[in-house]
Chain A
Amino acid sequence: MRSVALIALVLLAIPAPALAHDIPDSAVVQAFLKPEGDRLRFLIRVPLEAMADIEVPRRGQGYIDLANADAALRAAAIVWIGRQVAIYEEGTRLAEPVLMAVQVSLPSDLSFREYETAHAHVTGTRLADDVDLYWEQAFLDASFEYPIASDQSRFAINPGLRTLAQRVTLSLRLLTPDGGDRAFQLHDDPGLVQLDPRWHQAAGRFVTSGFAHILDGTDHLLFLLCLVIPLRRMRTLVAVVTSFTAAHSVTLIASAYGVAPDALWFPPLVETLIAASIVYMALENIVAANVMHRWVITFAFGLVHGFGFSFALRDTLQFAGSHLLTSLLAFNVGVEAGQLLVLLLVVPVLNLLFRHVVAERTGTIVLSAIVAHTAWHWMTERGAQLLLFPAPALDAAFLLAAVRWTMGLVIAGGVIWIARILWPSGFRWTRETL
């Protein structure tokens, strides 16, 4: 009873979390969510220094007075976590949770690597009173429980931990009753996160993401502009852009399934090739090359751009839930939609420009030169990064890898060739529309 009164007193004295104290530069928070029957257990570990409004009893040089810290720690858990974290069951926010246990932990404690050890730790024996633990170096561990309708429900979370530090990283794992283990890494204020999204929720999120990414990607947009300048018939363009989308879908999906090389030099190589693809397209426009087979080169460059998209997607695939392929396809749909929107805006402007301001040929050369100039700088800057890595040794292992890649390309070429023979109508546009 006495401790309840103490907590109440502390709670009254503590304001809601605000940006009033010295905010740490960064805070890493670890958490587990586990629905079991009619309750949802929430284990969380937060650096105590991120809760600086809490006056933890101290002794000596600033060591936590562990014998007398319990009330302050429980208050900190309620104010900084229990009241901030919003959890939803089937779209309805759950009531404030019950705090089941709270602990102070050493910075070297590793029990939060797994749910079982974390739970045993939080509910286990507390540190001895005479441990000299400087208060800012401790973790606060807490166990909360939420009453729920069913452990089969779909849950969502809005962490609300933004005020802990300048940069907040939440490593969250959802452990489902069927043994599933889904990991999330959320940064700062991620908003409402569906922990087990339905396919349409995941698809919606990734369509939006793909749409935003293409509109935000200057290099992809410049590549698109290069395609547009000499080919402004919408039907033609749709075919070429679709070729681009099909190609980047292949490498994007392949990357998501771990096929892409996991090497330090690979991202700079891809970024350099993306810049080179823009330079090539722009130069091709200037020299008025035959653009009849542009869909082929667009397909090839699309493969490279797909790897580029995969770097952007790397951190967001956690939101796909169990719908990885759907989400990847949805991302591509978003990209395609973004590209078509750009075409709808740019093509009429170019038509007007070439009709009323500058002759088409001159305009094509000037615009392409500007694009080539910009992309050339990107290419040299990114190439400089790439050149920090050495050229691979031309040994047997390298040749073996090269032969295997060549075999893959030959097989892919063979499949396309057979498809063209078997379904000539499906490939007629490549000859007729360009």
Chain B
Amino acid sequence: MTKKHLLVAGTFVVLLGALAVTESVLNQRVDAQEAGGTVRAPRFEVDPLWPKPLPNNWILGQAIGVWADEQDLVWIVHRGSATLADTEKALELKNGECCAAAPPVLAFDAAGNLVRSWGGPGQGYDWPSANHGIFVDHLGSVWIGGNGPGDSHLVKFTKDGKFLQQFGRPDARRGPPNAQGQPTYVGGSNDQQNFGRIAKIFVDPKANEAFLADGYLNKRVAVVDGASGKMKRYWGAYGNKPDDTPVPAYDPAAPPAQQFRNPVHCAMLSLDGLLYVCDRNSDRLQVFKPDGTFVREVFITRGTKASGSVWDVAFSRDPQQQYLYVTDGMNNRVYVLRRDTLEVLTSFGTGGRQPGQFFGVHSIASDSKGNLYTTETWEGKRLQKFVYRGIASVPRRHQGVVWPRS
């Protein structure tokens, strides 16, 4: 052992000791930070490389429905050419090479590859004039609603786009023309055969009952038999008999309205039999039993006006479905709620067009691995994936953009 060796060894010990002290101090600081402004909740990171580019110079219009089926295929429905500016669809107009609207129904695999594409008008059925909401049931059938002026029906297809069934008929809610000669449409929230611009569909596999968020014209939740489409029951806000009398514009300071406002935008049934209904423009989520008995409600970001703050709901994929994810297209974020208390734990996303940001975040779905998928309407027009990173300490309030980190 030479003097030089001793010097090196001493330096090594001192360096390691200094690092150990630094590590200890930093560890305490991190623990303290986590104990203060953080909360245990599901953590997500946007996957900026998902999905892969669409083929054929296809482009999305307003994307207004998403669902992840049992095989984790991610299905979306979008409004296509009708919601594209001429500058977005030069290929369709034969003005240039970019772009043309993709077919309305698209399915992506876990790697982000487009694996199915179909939809649109055809023989034997009435494709909605503005398709809205998509759901794949336990039999593998694809349900689609619509919120176009005359959409008072829904359609059901196989996964590869073969027509199966149609419940309701279009234009059932059409009234006399107005003074300008334009058609008018009136709500029919007590109609047993037809609907009023269905926003979203959920099928309970146990009872084979379809819960319809009905909708943009009607003000009710409707439950129909999944096989025949026969009406079984329906109800309005608080379980009241629905009433189509116009509800005043939402005032956060006023007592809560006793009827839903339009649109009734989601109806999602949990595994323990609670139905979560989005009263979008009233900033509230109402919870019911499947028979329509009112359980409770919660307001989220209550001061939000115009298009409201409660747009769509997805459940976490643990057996207890401990968490709810709620999209808010006005404030462009996703809220994470405890399902038992309906407390908002945290939220993520900001307005913008980069990965992890939103412009009109409209619909949300979770896959079997707990990943989230969102679609955006208005000028957002896209599908995004948020990778589930487990239960972790996350900022208690708003996380901003959840970029990939570790």
In the bound complex, do residue B26 and residue A133 qualify as a contact, i.e. CB atoms below 8 Å apart? Answer: no
In the bound complex, do residue B141 and residue A62 qualify as a contact, i.e. CB atoms below 8 Å apart? Answer: no
In the bound complex, do residue B159 and residue A136 qualify as a contact, i.e. CB atoms below 8 Å apart? Answer: yes
In the bound complex, do residue A107 and residue B138 qualify as a contact, i.e. CB atoms below 8 Å apart? Answer: yes
In Å, the complex CA distance between A234 and B45 comes to 49
In Å, the complex CA distance between A352 and B304 comes to 78
The answer, yes or no, to whether A403 is at the interface (CB within 8 Å) is yes
In Å, the complex CA distance between A399 and B33 comes to 14
In Å, the complex CA distance between A404 and B26 comes to 10
Q: How many A-B residue pairs have CB under 8 A?
A: 102
In the bound complex, do residue A392 and residue B405 qualify as a contact, i.e. CB atoms below 8 Å apart? Answer: yes
In the bound complex, do residue A410 and residue B12 qualify as a contact, i.e. CB atoms below 8 Å apart? Answer: yes
In the bound complex, do residue A389 and residue B404 qualify as a contact, i.e. CB atoms below 8 Å apart? Answer: yes
In Å, the complex CA distance between A411 and B115 comes to 50
The answer, yes or no, to whether A396 is at the interface (CB within 8 Å) is yes
In the bound complex, do residue B115 and residue A26 qualify as a contact, i.e. CB atoms below 8 Å apart? Answer: yes
The answer, yes or no, to whether B399 is at the interface (CB within 8 Å) is no
User: Which of B26, B69, B404 meets A265, CB within 8 Å?
Assistant: B404
Instruction: Give me the interface of B with A, judged by CB distance under 8 Å.
Output: 5, 8, 12, 15-16, 19-20, 22-23, 26-27, 29-30, 33, 45, 47-49, 69-71, 109, 115, 137-141, 158-160, 162-165, 205, 227, 355, 387, 403-406
In the bound complex, do residue B47 and residue A134 qualify as a contact, i.e. CB atoms below 8 Å apart? Answer: no
State the Cβ distance, A314 to closest chain B Cβ, in Å: 14
The answer, yes or no, to whether A423 is at the interface (CB within 8 Å) is no
In the bound complex, do residue A137 and residue B27 qualify as a contact, i.e. CB atoms below 8 Å apart? Answer: no
User: Which of A62, A109, A400, A414 meets B27, CB within 8 Å?
Assistant: A400
In Å, the complex CA distance between A397 and B27 comes to 8
Instruction: Give me the interface of A with B, judged by CB distance under 8 Å.
Output: 25-26, 28, 61-62, 106-110, 131-134, 136-138, 261-265, 388-390, 392, 396-397, 399-400, 403-404, 406-407, 410-411, 414, 417, 421
Please name all residues of chain A whose beta carbon is closer than 8 Å to the beta carbon of B23 when the two chains form the complex. Answer: 400, 403-404, 407
Given A134-B162, A410-B15; 11 other pairs, CB 8 A cutoff: A28-B71, A108-B70, A108-B139, A132-B227, A134-B139, A136-B159, A262-B406, A264-B404, A390-B404, A406-B19, A411-B16
Q: Which chain B residue has the least Cβ–Cβ distance from A268?
A: B49
State the Cβ distance, B318 to closest chain A Cβ, in Å: 14
State the Cβ distance, B207 to closest chain A Cβ, in Å: 13
Interface centre among A108, A262, A404, A417 (most CB of B within 10 A): A108
In the bound complex, do residue B12 and residue A136 qualify as a contact, i.e. CB atoms below 8 Å apart? Answer: no
Please name all residues of chain A whose beta carbon is closer than 8 Å to the beta carbon of B33 when the two chains form the complex. Answer: 396-397
Please name all residues of chain B whose beta carbon is closer than 8 Å to the beta carbon of A62 when the two chains form the complex. Answer: 158, 162
In Å, the complex CA distance between A389 and B403 comes to 7
In the bound complex, do residue B140 and residue A407 qualify as a contact, i.e. CB atoms below 8 Å apart? Answer: no
Please name all residues of chain B whose beta carbon is closer than 8 Å to the beta carbon of A264 when the two chains form the complex. Answer: 45, 47, 49, 387, 404
- A263 with B164: in contact, given A108-B70, A388-B49 (CB under 8 Å)? no
- A263 with B158: in contact, given A403-B26, A410-B12 (CB under 8 Å)? no
Q: Which chain A residue has the least Cβ–Cβ distance from B356?
A: A390
Please name all residues of chain B whose beta carbon is closer than 8 Å to the beta carbon of A262 when the two chains form the complex. Answer: 406
Q: Which chain A residue has the least Cβ–Cβ distance from B13?
A: A414
Please name all residues of chain A whose beta carbon is closer than 8 Å to the beta carbon of B22 when the two chains form the complex. Answer: 403
Please name all residues of chain A whose beta carbon is closer than 8 Å to the beta carbon of B163 when the two chains form the complex. Answer: 61
In the bound complex, do residue B49 and residue A407 qualify as a contact, i.e. CB atoms below 8 Å apart? Answer: no
State the Cβ distance, A140 to closest chain B Cβ, in Å: 14
In the bound complex, do residue B48 and residue A388 qualify as a contact, i.e. CB atoms below 8 Å apart? Answer: yes
In the bound complex, do residue A417 and residue B8 qualify as a contact, i.e. CB atoms below 8 Å apart? Answer: yes
In the bound complex, do residue B158 and residue A134 qualify as a contact, i.e. CB atoms below 8 Å apart? Answer: yes
In the bound complex, do residue B70 and residue A400 qualify as a contact, i.e. CB atoms below 8 Å apart? Answer: no
In the bound complex, do residue B160 and residue A261 qualify as a contact, i.e. CB atoms below 8 Å apart? Answer: no
- A396 with B26: in contact, given A132-B227, A417-B8 (CB under 8 Å)? yes
Q: Which chain A residue has the least Cβ–Cβ distance from B406?
A: A263
Q: Which chain A residue has the least Cβ–Cβ distance from B49?
A: A388
In Å, the complex CA distance between A389 and B387 comes to 14
